């Protein structure tokens, strides 16, 4: 990146000498000289330069630099001069410039200081942009939360009146395609509750018992039904169902097993009375939709069971 540096405000000969010295030190820069300038109307010096090095040895020159800073607040300004007194440096910095360095330090020190000033300005711009983005995101999140609360207020009473709204199944399905079909079928059956889907009964037991990461019941509420598709014999399936039936609060939780017709007897022998319904599916992908529509229609609309707590 080519830096555009303006050297301004000093006597012409000294201004030119300083500019030439800085050009040697800042090989990546283009250094221009001028008396204390003003930008054309509707423009800023910062449109043409990345920083300015201004000369000041007297209060009147400091005042001129201060006026320049007020007009060009976006332009980093490094002040140089012959006066090395601490009180003059304090007075110079009070004008709002970025830094003051005596000429006796040499061009190398002025160039290093100039780079520091530019790096600091860039860091400030980056930080401001990040703060602005964070503020925008915070505002957007708050707007969404307000919309969510409004929607809950408006739809809550209606949802509480419908049995389907109280139907919150937990699906245990290791095949993502089958899980997707189940969710589609439930939506077509007017089951619009958030539907948790877990890939195995080990995770389901963690979910049901409220173990991490499912301890927040606002985010992970207890289901009002369990839909399980046991693809292979797995001890964790039986462990989960026995745990449910051994829990006083979940004793009456409806458990629905989805299986192939040739495995129904095997499922019954294995799970027995731990399961409420055995739903027999075939190889037709659309069959699962009609199957779940019928099953959830009964369990969500007609079955009256104790509330799951």
Q: Tens digit of pLDDT for each residue in 89-143? A: 888 888 888 888 888 888 888 888 888 888 888 888 888 888 888 888 778 777 8
Total domain count for the chain? 2
Band (pLDDT 50/70/90 cuts) for residue 208 is: very high
Partners of 7 in the beta sheet? Answer: 33, 53
DSSP state of 300: I
Band (pLDDT 50/70/90 cuts) for residue 203 is: very high
For 34-66, letters b (16+ CB in 10 Å) and e give: eebbeeeeeeebbeebbbbbbbbbeeebbebbb
Find the mean pLDDT for residues 193-215: 89
Residue whose pair of structure tokens reads 């992970």 in the numeric block: 220
Find the mean pLDDT for residues 181-208: 82
Note whether residue 152 is domain-resident: no
Contacts of 167 (CB under 8 A, 6+ apart): 191, 193, 224, 225, 296, 299, 300
The H-or-E segment that residue 154 falls in is helix 107-161
CATH code for the domain of 196: 3.40.50.2300
Q: How long is the chain?
A: 309
On average, the pLDDT of the chain sits at 81
Note whether residue 261 is domain-resident: yes
Band (pLDDT 50/70/90 cuts) for residue 258 is: confident
DSSP state of 221: P
Residues 115, 45 within the same domain: yes
Structural domain including 228 reads 162-302
Note whether residue 209 is domain-resident: yes
Last residue of a domain, one of 110, 129, 148: 129
Q: CA-CA distance, 168 to 207, in Å (whole number)?
A: 14
Q: CA-CA distance, 255 to 178, in Å (whole number)?
A: 18
Note whether residue 146 is domain-resident: no
Chain segment 132-151, per-residue pLDDT in tens = 888 887 787 778 777 767 77
Find the mean pLDDT for residues 21-40: 77
Note whether residue 35 is domain-resident: yes
Instruction: Please check whether residue 96 is in contact with residue 76, taking contact to mean a CB–CB distance below 8 angstroms.
Output: no
Query: Does the structure show a pLDDT above 70 at 28?
Result: yes
Residues 168, 262 within the same domain: yes
């Amino acid at each position: 990146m080519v830096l555009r540096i303006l050297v301004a405000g000093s006597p012409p000969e000294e201004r030119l000498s300083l500019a030439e010295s800085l050009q040697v030190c800042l090989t990546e820069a283009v250094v221009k000289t001028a008396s204390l300038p003003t930008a054309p109307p509707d423009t800023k010096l910062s449109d043409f330069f990345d920083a300015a090095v201004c000369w000041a040895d007297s209060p009147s020159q400091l005042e001129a630099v201060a006026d320049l800073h007020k007009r060009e607040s976006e332009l980093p300004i490094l002040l140089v001069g012959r006066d090395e007194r601490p009180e003059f440096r304090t007075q110079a910095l009070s004008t709002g410039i970025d830094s003051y360095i005596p000429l006796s330090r040499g061009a190398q020190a002025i160039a290093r200081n100039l780079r520091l000033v530019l790096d600091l300005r860039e860091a400030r711009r980056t930080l401001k942009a990040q703060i602005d983005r964070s503020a925008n995101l915070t505002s957007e999140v708050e707007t969404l939360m307000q919309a969510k609360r409004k929607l809950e207020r408006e739809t809550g009473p209606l949802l509480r009146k419908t049995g389907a709204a109280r139907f919150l199944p937990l699906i245990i399905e290791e095949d993502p395609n089958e899980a997707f079909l189940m969710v589609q079928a439930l939506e077509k059956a007017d089951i619009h509750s958030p539907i948790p889907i877990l890939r195995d009964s080990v995770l389901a037991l963690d979910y049901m018992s409220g173990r991490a990461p499912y301890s927040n019941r606002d985010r992970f509420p207890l289901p009002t039904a369990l839909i399980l598709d046991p693809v292979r014999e797995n001890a964790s399936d039986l462990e989960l169902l026995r745990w449910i039936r051994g829990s006083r609060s979940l004793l009456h939780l409806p458990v629905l097993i989805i299986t192939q017709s040739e495995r129904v007897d095997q499922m019954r022998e294995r799970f027995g009375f731990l399961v409420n319904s055995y739903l027999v599916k075939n190889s037709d992908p659309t069959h699962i939709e009609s199957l779940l529509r019928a099953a959830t229609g009964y369990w969500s609309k007609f079955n009256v069971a104790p509330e799951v707590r």
